[in-house]
Structure formats: C-alpha cells, structure tokens
Structure 1
Amino acid sequence: MGVMKTPGVYIVEKNAFPNSVVEVATAVPAFVGYTEKADNGGKSLHNKPWRIASMSEFRRYFGGPALQQFEISDADDDATTSTAFSQDGKAYKIKQSNTRYLLYHSMMFFFQNGGGPCHIVSVGSYQDDLDAGVLKSGITPLIKEQEPTMVVIPEVVQLAEDDCINVQQAMLAHCGGKMKNRVAILDIWEGFKDRQHPDGDCVEKFRSKLGINYLNYATAYYPWLNTSIVQDSDVNFHSVSNIDKLTELLTFEISNAFKDLDNLSEDELKSGSNKLRLTKKQQMLDEVAKLSTEQSDFEQEQLNKILVSISPIYQTILADIKFQQNILPPAAAMAGVYTMVDNSRGVWKAPANVSLNAVVSPTVNISDDEQEDLNVTTQGKSINAIRPFIGEGTLVWGARTLDGNSLDWRYINVRRTMIMLEESVKLASKAYVFEPNVANTWVSMESMIGNFLYGIWKRGGLAGASPDDAYSVSVGLGKTMTADDILEGILRITVLVAISRPAEFIEITFQQQMQKS
C-alpha cells in the first residue's frame, strides 16, 4: 500500500495462496474438408474455423451429405475385378461415378465414437473438385486457434497418392513445426487394401513417402473400416447414375420371372391364375418404368419400397452401394475415441484396447505376425492396428506415434499429456509476465506449478509412489538462472515429470514346482 499520512486504521489484504493452473482442454479436434454449405445467418464460414458440439449443429451450419452416385457396368474379364452381381450368366460391377466427399460421414463417425466439441474448416462445396492446395489452405486458419488439439482431414485419402502425402506432410509441419500443441491423426492411402494386394503394400508406400519430420506429433491407423454409418434409408435409385441400365436390368429380371407366360396361347392367358400373373407382371413393369419419370419425394419413397419388395437384383445393387459408402478411413473415429478416453480416464490413458462403435469389421483382418511389422520397424514409423476379437468386437490395438523408435515420444498418450502440461503451465504463467524477477515471484511460480502437478499425480497422470518420484520444479538464482539471465529479464524454470506409459507388453511366467503335500 502507499505511504500512510493520515492517522487511522488501514486494512491490508495479502494473498495466501498462489495462482492456480487450469488444465486446458485435450480433446478438441479440427476437421478440414468440403461441405454442402458454410453459412451462419448469411455470413460465410468459408475457410473459417467454426466450433460445433453436435451433428445437428454441423447440419445447421454446413449442411448435409453429398449425393454419391454409382455406375452399373459390365465387369471386366480381369480376375482381380470384383463383381457386384450377375444376371443371365453375365457379371456386373458397381463403381462410384462422381467425387466422394467424406467429411459429413466422418463427422457422424466421430460423434458416434464419443466425439464432442470440435472445429470445422470448410474449404469448398460439393460443386468443387478435391484439391490438395485447397485442403492445405484449410490448415492455415488453425494457426490463430488455440483450442484445437488434433487435426484430421478425412478427404485427403481421396486425392492422388502423392497429393495425399503432400497434405499430410503439411499437417505434420503445422502440428509439430508451427504450433507444437496438437497432433495429426493420419489415414493410410488406400488403407482398405490388404498389404499383399497386387497394387503394392499401402503401408510401405505410406512409410517411404511420408518423410521423417515431426513424426512424434502424429499417429496413423490401419486398416480402414466397414461401418454402419450409411443406413438403408440413405440409399435409393437416385444413387445410380445410369438409370437406363438399372431399368434394363429390372425389366429383364421381371420378364425372366414370368417367361413361361410367353409360351401360352391367348386362351390360356385368359384363365384365372395366368391372368393374375400377367396382370402382376404388367404392374411390376409399370413400376420399373416410373424410374425415368418426374416424381415427388413421397412418390420416390414409395417407388423405392416397391422395387425393394419385388426385385432381388435391386436389393443387391442397393446393398453393394451401401457397402461401398460405408467403407471409411478410421481417423475421424479415433478422434472420437481420444475424446471419450480423455473425458472418462484422462489424456494420460492410452487410447487403445477400446472398442469402436458403428463398425462392422476392419476391411483387412490382421494377425499377430502381421501386426509385428506394423508396430515395430527399423524405420520407427509405427502404425497402430485395428483388429477384431471374438466376443469383444473391433478394438484399437495400438497406441504409438509415428516416431515408434523414440523412447521419449513412442506413445501417443505421452505426447498428448506433455502437450497438456506445457500448455496449461504456459497459460497460467502469463500472469507473471513483467512481474519482478525476484525470489517472491520464483516461490509463487514454483508453488503454482507444483500444486498443479500434484493434482495430476493424484489422478494417475504421473508415475511414482510419491510426489517426489513423480515430478520436481526448480527455479532460482544459481539453480536455473545466472545473474546475467536476471539482468536480461529471463526467468527460467525447470520442470521434470515422470509420465505414465502403457503396459504394452505383459509377460507372465509360469513354472512347475515340487509337490509339497
């Protein structure tokens, strides 16, 4: 207080406790991609990070899914080409004919696996072509956002392989080079294929092209997943781009089902049962003919139900289209898993040995021997496996960063815990900027950081039987600073922490002993 000049009683209040460190949010992913719209009450949200907390908010600001259309065509003679169905001895294949946009379904995947608040950066609409440069430009606005702790770009796998790697390298540079307070969750290009596929080993291509920069700020998962995100109600005849081919197939199917009527005379066709069958055939053909006509939404819905009930081929086509749409890369789901684990156990718990929701199966079933190469390699680029287990479902069976050979940053929960500790202490320490660089300030900061770390240790975030084993905070002249440091206005604090690591390999030894009684 100031100098006392007037006689009287003066009250002086002194703070008895140091400032506290508030733990920053650890599970706020930022998604970059293409959306139907990007609008908030008439104001554009294009290339602007926008915070949402639910799928309904996403639809409000960014719209719904893109119409994915598929073309029915004759299957190639090549044995490697998979066929969707056959009719009259002729095989057919179904392949997507327009651009596939993944962000909408990836967001559904994220929220179904425990996702919460996140940021969306819309870089374009469904009228735009996927472009590596545009997706990279969506990363730049995230520099000004302090909250995101993860970066996910689902649609990057729809680019050409080299473009995909180029965008992923930009994600690594943003997370590990520029910001240093977030991690990138990467998908393997063509990760739905087996590693023995004739086109080559997708994992080996990913490892060889990604480079070695900032690997401890990223993690990757393999394989892709067969999901149940897209439902039967989301697929109908509008999903077929060549309606004329669909009409031709259904017409042939119906005509073939009633082909015995072609050999009957007019008198026989007028008989009771044959007349009813002829009428039924004509009714079914009339329904198929409606495919080429303009209809209201209600009429389209009714027609789709009728075609499903009368045509096995139509059911097969829709099932194959739904199956293809439900093959999704796992990064968005893993962002949801990170959120769920952080909220229930803490960021220091490895996001592994957790089942995935809305997943039917991985696209590739990995054995123990096959996972060995994914987990431990001479290059150190560990890929986390997603595997099915009988009676347990599909589990995340790995928790490593891409820097798998580093003893410091091998595990993703260690990297993310350290980010949380650093950011929390950094923000709390801003209160002491421009404070006198003297012992009182040092003691206050030491107490503040020590109290915060004690709370983390009590919750299981730090390893050690006692606080002294778990962490230490040092600050002071002769300890962390020299006289020159103080003259230059530098206050140095050294914090040592023992972060808990997962028990990745558990060995239980059994041995026989002599009978004692």
Structure 2
Amino acid sequence: MAKCFTLNLKNPFISSSGNSTQMPQSDSTQMPPGVYVEECKWVERPINDVSCDVVAFVGYTEKVTGNNDLFFRPVRVRNLGDFIDLFGGGDGTREDYYLYLSVKLFFENGGGECIVVSVGNNRDGIFAYDLIKGLEALKNESNHVLLVIPEAVCLPDIDDSLRVQRAMLRHCADSSYMRFAILDIFGGFSSDGDPVKRFREGINDSSGNEADWLGFGAAYFPWVKVYNSDTKKEVVIPASGGVAAQYLQQQWRVGIWKAPANLPVKGLTKVSVNLTESEIPSFTNPPDGVPSVNVIKKVPYSEPLIWGARTLTKCNSINRFINVKRTIDMIEHSINDSLAEYQYCANNAETWQKIDNRVNQYLESLRIRGALAGHTRQESYKVNVGPMGKREQKFSEVKEHDFRESQEDAIVVNVSVAMAVPGVFVELGR
C-alpha cells in the first residue's frame, strides 16, 4: 500500500502574526541596542504513533446532571461511576437504556476513558434525527476515535437505522481525524427475517453503488445477552460496546496492526443467536460484492468470541481488513502530524534528507514492532522525498493509492508499506 504525503512550504520569513517581514537592510556598524540573535540547532523529535484509543458513544441517557448544557456536547467519562453521576443509569423499571448498558459492557471489558454525547432521555421514544444531531457534535472534537451508537439499531424502522449508520460511516470518511465506526445489525437479536441480508442490501447509498465510505466501519451480529442488575433481568443488547473495548485491549496488548478477532467478550450470559460452524463463513467471508459481517460466536465452556475482522468494503482491496485499514490510517496521520514542523523550512535537499531520515526511522520502528510484513527494510517499506513531480517508481508488488496537491512549492513524501494481511487457516482432515 503506497501513500503520498504532500507538504506545502511557506515563506520562511513569517512573523508570529502571520505577516510577511523583510530582513533588515541596515549598515553593518549599526545594531539595535540590547537585541541579539542566536541560532539554535533544531533537535528533531522522532515520529510517534497518534493516539487512537478513544471510543465515542452517542445516545439517550436517563438524565444529565445540572442543567441541559451537556445535551449534544461531547463529555469525557473515565469510568462507569462518572457516567452514572453525569447521565444516570437505568431507572430500575425499564430495560431499554441501551447506551448505559453498552457503556457498562465497555468498561467491563477493560475499556478506558471515553467520550459520551447525550441526546436527551428516551421517555418519548428514540429518533434518527436526535442520533444524527449527536453525531454532528463530534465534528469539532479533535480526537481519533472509534464511533459507537448502539441505539441506531433500536429505532422503530430499519430505514431510519440504516440512515443513522450511513451517517456514521460518512462522518468517519469525511473527518480530518482517524475515525472508524463499529455497527450492529437492526433486528440482530434474532435470525428471523434474515436481518443480515437486509443490512447488506441497505447499507449502501440509495444509488446502489458501492460507497467510498464502506471501508470506514465494520458490523457485528448477533446481539448479546447481559444481566441488568437494575431490573434483575437478562436483557438483549447490541454488542458494539463490548466489541469496542476489545479493539482497545488488542491494541494495547500488541498494536493496532493486530486483527481484533478471536477475542472474548466478557460480561455476557449468552449470545442471542447461536451460529453453527457451517453458517459463520457466509457472514465473515461472503462472495465478492457482498459486505462482510463479523460475528459473536458461542464457544463451549468459554466466553463468546469475536469472530472475523473485516470492514464493510465489498471490493477486493487491502482495506477490507480492519487492522490493515486502521494501521494505514495511523501511519498516515502520524507522518502528516510530524510534517507540519517543516512547513517553514527551505525547499531544498537538506530538508528532504531530514524528512526522509525521520520517516524511515518511524517506519523501521513499526517494522521492528511487527506492524509491517517483511524481514528487511527493503521488503517492508520505501520512502521517496522530493519536490513535486520527482517521484521514483514504487513497489510493484504493493497496491498503490496516491494523493497529492498541485502547488509548485510542495514537497512530496511518497511512502510505500507492505502490510501483513490476516489469513484464515483451514484445518485439513486426515
């Protein structure tokens, strides 16, 4: 997979106010009294991975502590106690506080600090426009996030549900930050009516053509059963809260490049639909042109497992794997953030070499950590830095995807990486 990063260089003589300044033309014998300029050597910092371990929840809550200023506003929540203090839990009489139960499942599975956007309480029902308005509140949030809206599949109509989920995917695709949506299936508490088929047919836009944003999310079936300590009953809820926590657990243990699959979801009493081994491949590995749906699989004498790690993209591209898609996005944002430091540097060979060294060091650290395929640098990645139009041939064996601007004063940083693609192992009989 090849990525091309464009850096636009500016006039190096820019004042702090943003206005162009001219170098002083004064007599060599004259100096401003008491003013001395000392050139300091610029110490280059290594490129670090951008932080992408925040989950954002949007949905209905029992209450909002204080006044209504917290409605439709992103709020940081460190643990379940914080959530209950700010937004309440279940009121003890109803079983449909899905956001509360999903956040609870998230923390039970080891999730960390998250963002919550409350769209009000659900006493008068739940509505697609509320959830979409809550989603809009995240546009200005400067975080790379995993996006979860459990109540998107609790709406009374599948068309409204799909409308919210398409909005989630578009939000992630259009954001300048790294974002990825974790979706549930409308009607996923049962196999009646083939809910997965209806989801696959409806998740595209109205034109029926494959949407560019399908690679920015993954779906999970079926729903799961948990014990609601408030109502003292078992309740069926969407699985996305627990799945999101397991994404983070896998990322913290190994890295974002490790597929979030074969992971136990804790805190469940059972899954709502028991899929057989022969049924699962039709969900996780469907024919070309059909979106994949990952499953929550019942396992004897163990917690249910997340099975499958594919995005919704229907094309046979490298972006159909969750971990590959998110790793490429992480590399892109990490390098882009670091290149901002060079925008006032001269567009010359010295600057190109500094950028080249820095990006190579970062990619080598990823290779050593196991994020890239290949045993050597030459097998794992390639970096070309130079002015616009002077780019070398990239890896022939790596699928290319380029983007760049046309300004003449731009430096192009062309990055090719070999991604480790997860495989499916088939046990052969004797």
Bin for the TM-score computed over the shorter chain: 0.7 to 0.9
Residue aligning to 2:58? 32
Aligned with residue 369 of structure 1, among 252, 273, 278? 278
Q: 8 Å contact 1:30–1:120 — kept in the other structure?
A: yes
Describe the SS at the equivalent of 1:185: strand
Give the TM-score, by structure 2 length: 0.82
Residue aligning to 1:273? none
Describe the SS at the equivalent of 2:384: strand
Structure 2 letter corresponding to 1:351: P
Aligned with residue 166 of structure 1, among 141, 163, 166? 163
Describe the SS at the equivalent of 1:204: helix
Aligned with residue 89 of structure 2, among 64, 83, 86? 64
Shift in CA distance, 366/435, structure 1 to aligned 2, threshold 3 Å: same
Aligned with residue 390 of structure 1, among 296, 300, 323? 300
In the alignment of these two chains, the number of paired residues is 379
Shift in CA distance, 449/4, structure 1 to aligned 2, threshold 3 Å: farther
Structure 2 letter corresponding to 1:65: G
Correspondences of 1:206-221 after superposition (within 5 Å): 206-211=199-204, 212-213=210-211, 214-221=213-220
Measure the CA separation in 2 of the matches of 1:227 and 1:129: 23
Residue aligning to 1:307? none
Residue aligning to 1:502? 422
Measure the CA separation in 2 of the matches of 1:463 and 1:348: 11
Q: 8 Å contact 1:227–1:328 — kept in the other structure?
A: yes
Q: C-alpha deviations, 1:403-425, integer Å up to 9, x for none?
A: 15423112101111111111111
Residue aligning to 1:358? 267
Shift of 1:506: 4.5
Q: C-alpha deviations, 1:291-341, integer Å up to 9, x for none?
A: xxxxxxxxxxxxxxxxxxxxxxxxxxx6xxx12xx2111111111111111
Q: C-alpha deviations, 1:40-79, integer Å up to 9, x for none?
A: x65721111112221111122222224444xxxxxxxxxx
Residue aligning to 1:223? 222
Residue aligning to 2:146? 150
Aligned with residue 479 of structure 1, among 390, 400, 412? 390
Correspondences of 1:69-218 after superposition (within 5 Å): 69=94, 100-159=96-155, 160-179=157-176, 181-194=178-191, 197=192, 200-211=193-204, 212-213=210-211, 214-218=213-217
Measure the CA separation in 2 of the matches of 1:102 and 1:12: 59
Measure the CA separation in 2 of the matches of 1:365 and 1:215: 27
Runs of 4+ displaced beyond 3 Å = 2-6, 10-13, 66-69, 177-180, 506-510
Q: C-alpha deviations, 1:22-47, integer Å up to 9, x for none?
A: 211122111100112334x6572111
Give the TM-score, by structure 1 length: 0.69
Measure the CA separation in 1 of the matches of 2:181 and 2:406: 38
Residue aligning to 2:375? 465
Measure the CA separation in 1 of the matches of 2:87 and 2:148: 17
Shift of 1:503: 2.5
Aligned with residue 49 of structure 1, among 66, 74, 86? 74
Structure 2 letter corresponding to 1:201: D
Measure the CA separation in 2 of the matches of 1:504 and 1:332: 26
Higher Rg of the two aligned structures: 1
Q: C-alpha deviations, 1:335-366, integer Å up to 9, x for none?
A: 11111111111100101111110112211111
Q: 8 Å contact 2:98–2:151 — kept in the other structure?
A: yes
Structure 2 letter corresponding to 1:112: E
The Cα RMSD (Å) is: 2.6
Q: 8 Å contact 2:266–2:303 — kept in the other structure?
A: no
Residue aligning to 1:443? 353
Shift in CA distance, 427/128, structure 1 to aligned 2, threshold 3 Å: farther
Shift in CA distance, 207/437, structure 1 to aligned 2, threshold 3 Å: same
Measure the CA separation in 1 of the matches of 2:414 and 2:138: 30
Q: 8 Å contact 2:264–2:304 — kept in the other structure?
A: yes
Correspondences of 1:286-435 after superposition (within 5 Å): 322-323=233-234, 326-375=235-284, 376-435=286-345
Shift of 1:435: 2.1
Q: C-alpha deviations, 1:72-101, integer Å up to 9, x for none?
A: xxxxxxxxxxxxxxxxxxxxxxxx7xxx23
**Which consecutive unaligned segments of at least 5 residues does structure 1 have?**
70-95, 236-317, 511-517
Describe the SS at the equivalent of 2:298: strand
Shift of 1:492: 1.0
In percent, how many aligned pairs have the same letter? 35
**Which consecutive unaligned segments of at least 5 residues does structure 2 have?**
1-23, 31-36, 205-209, 393-404
Higher helix content, 1 or 2: 1
Shift in CA distance, 392/36, structure 1 to aligned 2, threshold 3 Å: closer
Measure the CA separation in 2 of the matches of 1:448 and 1:35: 46
Q: Which has the higher contact order (CA 8 A, sep 6+)?
A: 2
Q: C-alpha deviations, 1:433-490, integer Å up to 9, x for none?
A: 2322221221111112111111111111111101221111111146339xxx897321
Structure 1 letter corresponding to 2:410: I
Measure the CA separation in 2 of the matches of 1:337 and 1:486: 42
Measure the CA separation in 2 of the matches of 1:508 and 1:113: 34
Residue aligning to 2:5? none
Measure the CA separation in 2 of the matches of 1:487 and 1:164: 42
Describe the SS at the equivalent of 1:138: helix
Q: C-alpha deviations, 1:349-398, integer Å up to 9, x for none?
A: 10111111011221111112211211223333000011112233311111
Residue aligning to 2:7? none
Measure the CA separation in 2 of the matches of 1:193 and 1:509: 33
Measure the CA separation in 2 of the matches of 1:486 and 1:191: 47
Q: 8 Å contact 2:62–2:97 — kept in the other structure?
A: no
Shift of 1:205: 0.5
Q: 8 Å contact 2:52–2:178 — kept in the other structure?
A: no
Q: Which moved more, 1:389-398 or 1:498-507?
A: 498-507
1:493 paired with 2:413, answer yes
Measure the CA separation in 2 of the matches of 1:14 and 1:507: 59
Shift of 1:156: 1.2
1:21 paired with 2:54, answer no
Shift in CA distance, 49/508, structure 1 to aligned 2, threshold 3 Å: same
Shift in CA distance, 203/486, structure 1 to aligned 2, threshold 3 Å: closer
Measure the CA separation in 2 of the matches of 1:425 and 1:394: 37
Shift of 1:129: 2.4
Residue aligning to 1:276? none
